[in-house]
Amino acid sequence: MYLAGGAMWQESRLYVLGVWILVVAGAATIVGLPGLYLVMATAGGGGFLLMTLVEQVLRVRTRRRIAGGARA
């Protein structure tokens, strides 16, 4: 769904998240049960947390750039 959403709305960060989840799922199947759940939780959840941090940093930079441009 993340891959399709990223492609449909041309949102590269959403597409990258989808690729990450796909890679993690592939690696998790190699690990097997019960380690699969640990890999999915840590690496998959970590990817979501990292993308949240990236989005927040980009939004703050955009706001600062807009606010700085309004003062000039």
Number of domains in the chain: 1
State the pLDDT confidence band at 71, using cuts at 50, 70 and 90: low
- Distance between CA atoms of 40 and 22, rounded to whole angstroms? 10
Answer for the pair 2, 21: CB distance below 8 angstroms, yes or no: yes
Sequence-separated (6 or more) residues with CB below 8 Å from residue 16: 6, 51
Digit-coded pLDDT (tens) for 20-66: 999 999 999 999 889 999 999 999 999 999 999 999 999 999 999 99
The predicted pLDDT at position 68 comes to 83
Is the whole model's pTM more than 0.85, yes or no? no
Domain span holding position 21: 2-71
**Per-residue pLDDT at 72 exceeds 70:** no
The predicted pLDDT at position 70 comes to 64
